[in-house]
Amino acid sequence: MHEVSFLILTALAGGTQHGYGIIADVEEVSGGRVRLKAGTLYAALDRLVGEGLIEPDREEVVAGRLRRYYAITGGGRERLATEAERLRANSRAALRRLRPEMGTS
């Protein structure tokens, strides 16, 4: 799974959000390391909708602009949990291999 998809699913696991909210949440979750541009976000949202991992929740007009909200699906939650566990296992393996070297510097 691409990091952007992982972070978007992570943002939506906290609740339904619109595009700007997702951008802000991804930046927060990543510690400011990932700052999504609108084009990147909407391409990823379209892909995640197509994969059935998220779905449009509702739309509203705010200050004359359409705001579409997205929600994570059950399948999206399962995929996010699987990916989070995979990353945790990979991190543990890397840290186990680094520990002997870290003490010798």
Tell me, what CATH number does 37's domain have? 1.10.10.10
Name the band, by pLDDT with cuts 50, 70 and 90, for residue 102.
Answer: low
* The predicted structure's pLDDT at residue 105: 46
Q: Which domain holds residue 7?
A: 3-102
* The predicted structure's pLDDT at residue 99: 87
Count of structural domains, the chain: 1
Tens-digit pLDDT profile for residues 40-84: 999 999 999 999 999 999 999 989 888 999 999 999 999 999 999
| Strand 65-72, strand 54-62: pairing | antiparallel
| Strands laid side by side in the 65-72 sheet | 17-18, 65-72, 54-62
pLDDT over 90 percentage in the chain = 87
